[in-house]
Amino acid sequence: MADPIIFNIQKFSVRDGDGIRTTIFFKGCPLRCLWCHNPESQLYKKELVFRREKCTLCGRCVAACPKHCNVPDSAGHELRFDRTDCDVCGNCEDVCLGSARELCGKKYSIDELVKKAARDKLFYEQSGGGVTLSGGEVMVQDMDYIEELCRRLHEQGIRIFIDTSGHCPYENFKRILPYTDIFLYDIKAMDPEVHKKFIGVDNALILENLKRLSDDGAGIYIRIPVVGGVNANDVFFDSLIDFLKQNHIHVREISLLPYHDFGKGKYANLGRVYEEDLMWAPTPEEMGHYKALLEEAGYERVVIGG
């Protein structure tokens, strides 16, 4: 059993399912959504975050780095961080005076996670909350670890939500079905070519897994990131409704999540490019229209945000 890498544990979360929750974010994802607001979640390894605006040009990282990844310019006005040879040793983080550098990713034992989660059981019980496993993509982690973690949380009487893109072998879902109360299931595009363009893979496996989860009696909340230029149109929503109806998908709730670019700055901190020109936020009027389309189709619990 391999301990996965976790990049955040967010306590008192109210956006990752019902009630007050502890959300555990696992690092590593098979998708590459262009709007991903947690780009630090994508790679299956630790990364170094470099916040250039906090760099004081003290030069301590230059001497500390055994790979010579930090290169000041001749005038001393800027410091370039070359990630090519960086092995994420953490030496530069240790000596940084301005907190400009941070290692992203840490391993936790199952015992550690269960103890952290169990401390807030009173809040879960009073609010109808629990623990949400998120990512990245939790369903592509070491499933021996994930299954044991879910079993242990379930034995504590803690309700478990799984936030997933659905892009994984269905066998992974079957292993945790006995312990999972709700799957927060993302649907991002219905057209396979649109899905491949903006998410990096087609959607055949995702849609097939959604059908199988529904057939197996899983609790399902569908979550739709509504993104201008991608799926903020009637064609997408009509196709989604047709798919849900034709395949008798049992959906307890649908959340519409309007696009935002709050994570844009993270891309520069990781040395990546954010392709913001391809996407935009839908208007409140558009969001209300899509909500009405779903309600007219018979879905009673449709929320904007969440």
Domain of residue 112, CATH code: 3.20.20.70
What predicted TM-score, i.e. pTM, was given to this entire model? 0.94
Confidence bin at 193 (pLDDT 50/70/90): very high
CA 229 to chain centre: 21
Give 165's contacts (C-beta < 8 A, 6+ positions apart).
Answer: 29, 30, 31, 137, 139, 186, 188, 206
Domain range for 72: 47-104
Examine the domain organization and report whether 193 and 70 are in the same domain. Answer: no
CATH number for the domain including 87? 3.30.70.20
pLDDT at 1 (0 to 100): 79
Question: Which of 77, 104, 131 lies at the terminal end of a domain, its last residue?
Answer: 104
Percentage of the chain beyond pLDDT 90 is 90
Tell me: pLDDT of 76 over 70. Answer: no
pLDDT at 140: 98
pLDDT tens digits, 95-152: 999 899 999 999 999 999 999 999 999 999 999 999 999 999 999 999 999 999 999 9
User: Based on the domain organization, do 217 and 253 belong to the same domain?
Assistant: yes
- Judge whether residue 77 has pLDDT over 80: no
**Closest alpha carbon to 220 in 262, 263, 177, 259:** 177
Domain count along the chain = 2
Q: What is the mean pLDDT of the chain?
A: 95
Inform me whether the pLDDT recorded for 217 exceeds 90: yes
Lowest mean pLDDT among 49-63, 122-136, 206-220: 49-63
Mean pLDDT computed over 215-231 = 98
Q: What percent of the chain has pLDDT over 70?
A: 100
Q: Same domain, yes or no, for 127 and 11? A: yes
> For the chain, what is the total number of helices (H) and then of strands (E)?
11, 13
Work out the pLDDT band at 176, boundaries 50, 70, 90: very high
Output the pLDDT for position 169: 98
Cα separation, 73 vs 80, in Å, equals: 8
Is the confidence at residue 74, as pLDDT, over 90? no
Helix ranges (DSSP H) in 32-135: 60-64, 91-95, 110-118, 121-127
Whether residues 204 and 221 share a domain: the answer is yes
Q: Which of 104, 122, 148 is the last residue of a domain?
A: 104
Q: Are residue 171 and residue 280 in the same domain, yes or no? A: yes
